[in-house]
Chain A
């Protein structure tokens, strides 16, 4: 078996580390699928919360769970869009990466609005959480307007 020189070992090691850093969260296609699933869950909880708030369905006691889930999912939405996950089967617009500071500001807004909604739901007062839900919905829409292409 040929022996590896120390310098070769170091080079391979460094390359392997670089590779690991570049793919810290996975293969780009897998990241895209992962974020689509997370965003689907985000939407599903929003739709479920909306149905309860609008009185279409009962399940009032479950609202707090949907609100908690929304707050958890929106803790760092921007992290679902790492560099290199901009090609492939994604509906994300280029601005997600080219206007990163603004995109991250929007993600922080979603976090603030989902936190505020969860806090308001915890009070059990519909007069408080109704408007907070509307603010969260507006935050979602505003970000999709600028950063999400209509579905393909």
Chain B
């Protein structure tokens, strides 16, 4: 594969769709920068809506199991990662463990990040080290009492977590493998699009099949290629368009959380990477799983206009 920079430029020229040159500020400076955006780290670690300083701690993430606050990951020695070494960072991302040995809550998507390659983890670490330190204290998570002991998390990990970098499938082509890596490791789509069971573990039979219990009370759609309840009727070019501009095949637009993700991550990927994501998603087994609530039927004896 070409260098990420070269791929990006090649991808940008392919973006002839609406023929808009990307502003210079959006061009990633290097591989770590590109990965940082693709993985959407800022979504949980920067409070953009309240104009919070970059990487100094994120907005509240409301989940059915409590409210989480992404911590300060700037290189500040007191509140951020200033005293960390590269090996601490890699262990956090790959094993979900803090330098002091305590477990992270899976709201930090290490179940996906564990699949990042060593090279990508090192590039991300190098990127984080270059950012300005911000001395902003962390906000503790707001959790029900029974979820507060972090020791519980070893049980969660034993049940649901398999550490280890992504292994490419030799029987699939390069585009598919790139898409699989992006979806399952980097952009960690399943963290929201896969429903969770009562213990907060992913329901593997419903991988990427959507949930009504998404973060911040959102309904997260089924993105498997099921024709009735998923994106089976979307063409590959329509998925690529959605990831670039947020427009659906019906001309609707992504809102709320997904619009943020499109802004921060998928619209800044290379066109080739968006194509890879679409290729991978459409190759998945279709899962019939409705997430939208049924439209109310009119009362008996009345037609649709209520007469």
The residues of A with any CB-CB pair to B shorter than 8 Å are 40, 42-48, 50, 53-54, 56, 89, 91, 93, 127, 130-131, 133-134, 137-138, 140-142, 144-145, 147-152
Q: State which residues 240-254 of B face A: CB under 8 Å.
A: 241, 245-254
User: How long is the Cα–Cα vector from A2 to B82 in the complex, in angstroms?
Assistant: 85
Pick 8 A–B contacts, CB within 8 A, sort by A. Answer: A43-B250, A47-B251, A93-B256, A127-B19, A140-B247, A141-B253, A141-B254, A141-B259
Interface of A is mostly: helix
Number of A-B contacts defined by CB within 8 Å: 95
Q: Are A91 and B247 in contact (CB under 8 A)?
A: no
Kindly provide the distance from the CB of B146 to the nearest chain A CB, expressed in whole angstroms: 29
Q: Are A152 and B251 in contact (CB under 8 A)?
A: no
Contact of B78 with A by CB under 8 A: no
The residues of B with any CB-CB pair to A shorter than 8 Å are 17-20, 214, 218-221, 237, 241, 245-260, 262-263, 292-293, 296
Question: What 17 additional pairs, Cβ within 8 angstroms, besides A137-B247, A145-B256, A150-B254?
Answer: A42-B251, A43-B252, A44-B251, A46-B251, A50-B241, A50-B247, A130-B19, A131-B18, A131-B20, A137-B245, A140-B246, A141-B254, A141-B259, A148-B255, A149-B218, A151-B219, A151-B292
Q: Are B219 and A141 in contact (CB under 8 A)?
A: no
Kindly provide the distance from the CB of A108 to the nearest chain B CB, expressed in whole angstroms: 18
Cβ–Cβ < 8 Å partners of B292 in chain A = 151-152
Q: Are B251 and A50 in contact (CB under 8 A)?
A: yes
Q: Are A130 and B18 in contact (CB under 8 A)?
A: yes
Task: Identify the closest chain A residue to B19 (Cβ).
Answer: A130
User: How long is the Cα–Cα vector from A138 to B221 in the complex, in angstroms?
Assistant: 22
If A137-B245, A138-B245, A141-B246 touch, whether A150 touches B257 (CB-CB below 8 Å) is: yes
Q: Are B255 and A53 in contact (CB under 8 A)?
A: no
Task: Identify the closest chain B residue to A149 (Cβ).
Answer: B256
Contact of B259 among A43, A45, A47, A145 (CB under 8 A): A145
User: How long is the Cα–Cα vector from A84 to B147 in the complex, in angstroms?
Assistant: 39
Contact of B246 among A42, A45, A144, A151 (CB under 8 A): A144
Cβ–Cβ < 8 Å partners of A149 in chain B = 218, 255-256
